[in-house]
Amino acid sequence: MENCVLCADLKPNEGELVWRGDDCRVILVSDDDLPGFCRVIWNRHQADMTELSHGEREHLMGLVFLVEEAVRDVMQPSKVNLAALGNMVPHIHWHVIPRFKDDAFFPGSIWSVRTQETSPAILTERRKAALDLPDVIRGLISRLY
């Protein structure tokens, strides 16, 4: 679809392409407040999960759960949020977000108003940990595909 930000190639400073398959891809999002935030994006422009076949849904959700597992293992968050809204960008994609009780938006969603400041030292450690995520995700994917 014309002008869809998720159909277009990754722009500089948006993040890192971790893995790309025929149907979907995984991005490590560049977000200073939320190290380890990933996105799993369906490659073809489709707005809703029910537009996918049952097999495609299983494939996509298997990848979402794999990324969640990697985020949990590497980032050690209090909780991982999975979100698929699509109101602003009607293209199937899932957010996989490590959440910490001291993150800038806790306890609200990451799209809510900032409630606190995370210590710069803690953010530095989390950013350092997030550097390992691409290799862990690719390793898990290589066992399945």
pLDDT of residue 62: 96
- Tell me the per-residue pLDDT of 85-96, one tens digit each, with 9 for 90 and over: 888 888 999 999
pLDDT of residue 67: 98
pLDDT of residue 14: 84
Average pLDDT over residues 129-142: 97
Assess whether pLDDT exceeds 70 at residue 17: yes
pLDDT of residue 23: 95
Q: Which two tokens stand for residue 10?
A: 């990754």
Name residues whose C-beta falls within 8 Å of residue 137's C-beta, 6 or more positions apart in sequence: 18, 19, 26, 38, 66, 67, 70
DSSP the chain: -TT-TTTSPPPTTTEEEEEE-SSEEEEEE--TTSTT-EEEEESS--SSGGGS-HHHHHHHHHHHHHHHHHHHHHH--SEEEEE---SSS-S-EEEEEEE-TTSTTTTS-TTS-------HHHHHHHHHHHTTHHHHHHHHHHHH-
pLDDT of residue 9: 75
pLDDT of residue 2: 66
Where do the domains of the chain lie, and which CATH numbers do they carry? 15-144 (3.30.428.10)
Range of lowest pLDDT (104-108, 132-136, 141-145): 141-145
Contact of 98 with 38, CB cutoff 8 Å: no
- CB neighbours of residue 110 within 10 Å: 18
Stronger pLDDT, 11 or 113, i.e. the higher one: 113
Q: How many residues does the chain have?
A: 145
